[in-house]
Chain A
């Protein structure tokens, strides 16, 4: 059974960098796309972007100037960095596995999420 677990600081100061890691267990990180999604408390879901195991990325243009994703296949982990954070970046951050089935995209496994609060 594939499991994803987000980790990182739950509190980040304004203007600093939010750094999260998603550890994949029960399966290999290779051959899949890995996605970050966030959810402001009480609000909807926002797609941040994905990273392929080879390192190819695609970011949401609304965050592109501040987002960097990376992957470490040796550790079965991928990461999210979001720079210059503000209170608007306070959210639950989820990592998820993207799988293409019959040419359709699915997010079939999700982490439990990690709440990151931006506050001084």
Chain B
């Protein structure tokens, strides 16, 4: 399964609402997770099952979608949210990541 993300990068300001899209090359139900990776660090899980917030993750993060189209939304972007975001499908093997979306400071 091929995963695509858009945009590949975006510039935003603190307080902005940010939306990232992930598309799968075939329907994957809601078998999708979102991960945040900061420079030089390992990714961390934000959302699984397309819309379920991982414990401890701030509620400004939310996910939606099913089938082939998914979105990650960050409401009121915070300074610590500038990072790269990846989607990961867990519908079938091999698991595949999207290419990432880098959220940069405007």
B52 partner, pick from A45, A49, A102, A107, beta carbons under 8 A: A102
Could you say which of A59, A61, A108, A111 has the most chain B C-beta atoms within 10 Å of its C-beta?
A: A108
B44 to chain A, nearest CB (A): 7
What's the Cα separation between A105 and B49 when bound, in Å? 8
B99 touches A44 (CB 8 A): yes
B100 touches A44 (CB 8 A): yes
Closest to A103 in B: B49
A107 touches B96 (CB 8 A): no
B42 touches A61 (CB 8 A): no
What's the Cα separation between A110 and B86 when bound, in Å? 15
For this complex, into which size category does the number of interface residues on chain B fall?
A: 20 to 34
B43 touches A110 (CB 8 A): yes
A61 touches B45 (CB 8 A): no
Taking CB atoms, residues of chain A closer than 8 Å to B81 are: none
A112 touches B42 (CB 8 A): yes
Taking CB atoms, residues of chain B closer than 8 Å to A105 are: 31, 33, 48, 90
Interface string of B65-90 (1 = CB under 8 A from A): 00000000000000000000010101
Taking CB atoms, residues of chain A closer than 8 Å to B54 are: 106, 108
Closest to A49 in B: B94
Given A44-B100, A102-B52, A107-B33, decide whether A113 and B93 contact each other with a Cβ distance below 8 A.
Answer: no
Taking the complex as formed, is B61 at the interface, i.e. its CB lies under 8 A from any CB of chain A? no
A99 to chain B, nearest CB (A): 9
Taking CB atoms, residues of chain A closer than 8 Å to B48 are: 101, 104-106
List the interface of chain A (C-beta within 8 A of B). Answer: 44-47, 49, 58-62, 94, 96, 101-108, 110-113
Known: A45-B37, A96-B42, A105-B31. 9 other contacts (CB 8 A): A44-B97, A44-B99, A45-B35, A46-B97, A61-B94, A101-B52, A105-B90, A106-B45, A108-B54
Cβ contacts A to B, 16 pairs, < 8 Å: A44-B97, A45-B35, A45-B86, A47-B94, A47-B95, A47-B97, A101-B49, A102-B49, A104-B90, A105-B90, A106-B45, A106-B48, A107-B43, A107-B88, A110-B42, A110-B44
